[in-house]
A and B are shown apart, each in its own frame.
Chain A
Amino acid sequence: MNPNRARLCYRLLVDCYPLEFRRRYGEEMIRQLDSDWERTRATGTAGTRRFWTDLLLDFAKSWPGEVFAAVPRGIWILLAILAMVDAFALYALNWRLQVIASAVAWFGSLLVACAAYFLRPAKALGLVFLYALVVFFLVRIAPHWLDLRSPDVHTGFALRAFVLPIMAMQGLGFAMSFVLPLKRPGLKANLRCALFFVAPLLAGVSLALAGVAWNFVIWGSTWGLLMPQPLGLVFRAIRHGDLIGKGRPAKR
């Protein structure tokens, strides 16, 4: 692996740290990686493997603590913003969240459907994995594309606090909605599947309402109307067996 690729991989990890920590130490951490990587490359494959194992363990040990430490400050900032900012700022923040929600719903589902068509995962779990992967990368990359990640700390916090849990629930509902009918086909399974699909959606919207009390109509319409449509398309395709486990389709 060349230094640029190693740096890119590590930058993805550094990006997961809280915004303030990343701003303060991110560049130095990457520079440290550069220096360590130069020393490690000379030690061969075993050394390289150990290097990355140590790096991942270090990330696993330090990341939860930093995220946990950043939460009280994030809550405080969010409360301060709620008390002080004008309507336009709230609107801008809300709009950003909605753009991400829509982007994940539409582009995520589209990408999953395309990926599933070409990769033909053998099991439903493969598709769940693909969906998780796409959602993860959209969340990491979409803000850069659309300039959604504001330099302000509060936006970073808001993204993590509200969008990620909702998407996690949405993903769970989506996964369950096709895993269940695959295992036990029939009307009951379909009803249960609908429940699994709708319940996390409602829970997500409730969370959004509790967290961002303002503008709940727009939130409701975003999550209630936009999300089920593209996900439903993928869901129906899966139900009809178009995407899972039949090998690459013959050209017609």
Chain B
Amino acid sequence: MIPLTAAVFNILLALADGEKHGYAIKLEVENATDGKIHMGPGTLYGSLDRMVKAGLIEESEHRPGADEDDERRRYYRLSQFGRRVLQLEASRLADLVRAAMAKKVLAPT
């Protein structure tokens, strides 16, 4: 499963701090990447569908709050497995960044 695609990694990251519906995930990904990753509806819902089937995320029955909730939307949250995969992928990327810094490809921050 690892390495994850950019879309899957960003969706998992968007869900790391709580459950969200599809459109909120898309907005969060666009904001987090300064619009560099743009997910159209087909890509977004196709990815969500595959991630639910792979057990990375699960549909949530809980709704966040009466005024924020749109009951027609499906909400998603990270599964335990999804959180573990996200951690592994993030640490893999961190290792890569460290290796790039060691070779002075990236300036240390």
CB within 8 A of A32: which of B22, B49, B50, B74? B22
Which of chain B's residues has its CB closest to A20's CB?
Answer: B49
**Interchain CB contact under 8 A, A62 and B23:** no
Q: 1/0 per residue B34-67: CB within 8 Å of A?
A: 0000111111111011100000000000000000
**Interchain CB contact under 8 A, A17 and B72:** no
Residues from chain B with a CB closer than 8 A to the CB of A123 are: none
Residues from chain A with a CB closer than 8 A to the CB of B23 are: 28, 31-32, 35
**In the complex, what's the smallest C-beta–C-beta distance from B77 to chain A, in angstroms?**
16
Residues from chain A with a CB closer than 8 A to the CB of B42 are: 17, 29, 58-59, 61-63, 66
**Interchain CB contact under 8 A, A32 and B41:** yes
Q: 1/0 per residue A1-29: CB within 8 Å of B?
A: 00000000000001001000100110111
**In the complex, what's the smallest C-beta–C-beta distance from B95 to chain A, in angstroms?**
30
**Interchain CB contact under 8 A, A33 and B41:** yes
Which of chain B's residues has its CB closest to A58's CB?
Answer: B40
Question: In the docked arrangement, what's the CA distance between A245 and B39, Å?
Answer: 45
Question: In the docked arrangement, what's the CA distance between A65 and B43, Å?
Answer: 10
Question: In the docked arrangement, what's the CA distance between A198 and B44, Å?
Answer: 44
**Interchain CB contact under 8 A, A24 and B49:** yes
Which of chain B's residues has its CB closest to A59's CB?
Answer: B42
Best-buried of B38, B45, B49 by chain A (most CB within 10 Å): B45
**In the complex, what's the smallest C-beta–C-beta distance from A73 to chain B, in angstroms?**
11
Contacts A25-B49, A31-B23, A32-B26 given: A57-B40 contact, CB under 8 Å?
Answer: yes
Question: In the docked arrangement, what's the CA distance between A69 and B23, Å?
Answer: 23
Q: B73: CB under 8 A from chain A?
A: yes
CB within 8 A of A58: which of B41, B50, B73, B74? B41
Give residues of chain A (62-115) contacting chain B, Cβ–Cβ below 8 Å: 62-63, 65-66, 69
Question: In the docked arrangement, what's the CA distance between A121 and B85, Å?
Answer: 58
Residues from chain B with a CB closer than 8 A to the CB of A57 are: 40
Question: In the docked arrangement, what's the CA distance between A35 and B39, Å?
Answer: 14
Question: In the docked arrangement, what's the CA distance between A44 and B36, Å?
Answer: 21
Which of chain A's residues has its CB closest to B27's CB?
Answer: A35
Question: In the docked arrangement, what's the CA distance between A29 and B39, Å?
Answer: 12
Residues from chain B with a CB closer than 8 A to the CB of A31 are: 23, 72-73
A-B contact pairs, 13 of them (CB 8 A): A24-B49, A25-B45, A25-B48, A27-B72, A28-B74, A29-B42, A31-B72, A32-B22, A32-B41, A33-B41, A58-B39, A61-B42, A62-B42
Q: A25-B48, A61-B40, A61-B43 are in contact. List 14 more A-B contacts (CB 8 A).
A: A21-B45, A24-B49, A25-B45, A28-B22, A29-B45, A32-B23, A54-B38, A54-B40, A57-B40, A58-B39, A58-B43, A62-B43, A62-B46, A66-B46
Nearest 3 CB-CB pairings of A with B: A58-B40, A62-B42, A29-B41
